Amino acid sequence: IIPRAEFWKTVKNKKVERPFVLVNAADEEFPICIYKNNDSYTASLLKCTHRGCELNVGGGIYSCPCHGSEFSTEGKVLEGPADQDLKTYKIETDNENIYIYLF
Ligand code: FES
């Protein structure tokens, strides 16, 4: 469970919304990125589907430092050598929280 407030930070007395939040799940060896696009959220495991390197988040995509694969923030392959989308998780939201279903 991630409080929606996690997406907000205060910079110089101004509230600024973050595009994503990283979380660690006990059963996963890689972080999960919760990315906000407009009013919807996507949760993707930051494990490259090519050979399993941890992905970087930046510039509105996930990129792999090992061989250059790129994925959209919805977890879809944009650029190989990876040919499979990222593992994503079901999400539900209410006014206060984001619920990520890990099973
Ligand atoms: Fe990510 Fe090869 S492990 S592109």
Amino acid at 31: P
Centroid of ligand 1 to alpha carbon of 100 (angstroms): 26
pLDDT confidence of residue 39: 80
Model pTM above 0.85: yes
Say which residue the tokens 């792999």 belong to: 64
Give the mean pLDDT of 33-57. 94
Centroid of ligand 1 to alpha carbon of 85 (angstroms): 12
- List the residue whose alpha carbon is closest to atom 4 of ligand 1: 67
Largest CA distance in the chain: 44
Centroid of ligand 1 to alpha carbon of 8 (angstroms): 31
Give the mean pLDDT of 44-73. 96
pLDDT confidence of residue 82: 96
Cβ–Cβ under 8 Å, residues 51 and 15: no
Give the chain's length. 103
